[in-house]
Amino acid sequence: MGYIWDQLRQAIPLITSGNAYILNIVWVTIKVAVISTAVASVIGLPIGLALGLGRFRGRRALHILANAGLALPPVLVGVAVLILLLPRGAFGSLQIEFTLYAVYVAQTILALPYIVALTPAAIRGLPPGLLAQARALGAGRLQLSLLALREAKIGVIAAVIAALGATLSEVGAVVIVGGNIQGHDQTLASAALMLINNDANYPGALAVGLVLLALILVLIAVLTVLQQRTSGIHLRFRTG
């Protein structure tokens, strides 16, 4: 225990002193997480709505695939993306391998299943008959989608935060597609890996880990506040 406290005493000043290295990787981590989650949300929400509201053949199979995507190995995603982006790969002409753009692509793929799988689950948790009543009152497809998003907003927000949390803590795919280049595309999680494996810098790795934990705790706090402020389900839309 004494050794742990000794490492902790060395780690804390690195955080409180505004260490330039830590500040840089915090910024890169937040930027990667926010951009990747935003892109995943833009792509995934329409798919999630279709799975939650649609009545088409194969919907259940697609939902199973989306759920399976939650367990998608990040290392496999990293390897697949890198192969596609290498000069001889299908997208080699983009020349973005070992760059921050490659990290965005890999992280978006990893965040997408959270949006696609959890959005229809949130919609199906709505009170029975709510959406049927909206259809009976003449709600169109767009109105129905907006209604479902509004009434299931806590579940949808939880899906987005889960995706954001996954992108914050991911390391395998980041290292593979980005190269873990210091000051360029290194994130908090990949920095901790480098500090341990290459430098045996335990106080630095502990400081980075504590900052990462703090960011994740902020996400949980945001979700809790949103849940507490949400009350009831209100059916409001125009018919015409």
pLDDT at residue number 1: 67
pLDDT at residue number 216: 86
Domain ranges for the chain, please list them: 2-229
Is pLDDT at 230 greater than 70 in this prediction?
no
Q: Please state the rounded mean pLDDT for residues 154-173.
A: 89
Instruction: Compute the distance between CA of residue 146 and CA of residue 185 in angstroms, rounded to an integer.
Output: 36
* Angle (nearest 5°) at CA 89 between 115 and 79: 50
pLDDT at residue number 150: 84
**Architecture of the 2-229 domain:** Orthogonal Bundle (1.10)
Instruction: Compute the distance between CA of residue 72 and CA of residue 80 in angstroms, rounded to an integer.
Output: 12
Q: Return the percentage of the chain with pLDDT > 70, whole number.
A: 93
Per-residue pLDDT reduced to its tens digit, 1-34? 677 888 888 888 888 888 888 889 999 999 999 9
What count of other Cβ atoms lies within 10 Å of the Cβ of residue 100?
19
Q: Please state the rounded mean pLDDT for residues 213-223.
A: 84
Is pLDDT at 92 greater than 80 in this prediction?
yes
Instruction: Compute the distance between CA of residue 110 and CA of residue 36 in angstroms, rounded to an integer.
Output: 9
Residue by residue, DSSP assigns 71-125 as T--HHHHHHHHHHHHSTTSTTGGG--TTSHHHHHHHHHHHHHHHHHHHHHHHHHT
For residue 43, give the 3-state DSSP assignment. Answer: helix
Q: Please state the rounded mean pLDDT for residues 68-79.
A: 92
Angle between helices 153-169 and 20-53 (to 10 degrees): 140
Residue 227: pLDDT band with limits 50, 70, 90 = low
Instruction: Compute the distance between CA of residue 216 and CA of residue 193 in angstroms, rounded to an integer.
Output: 18
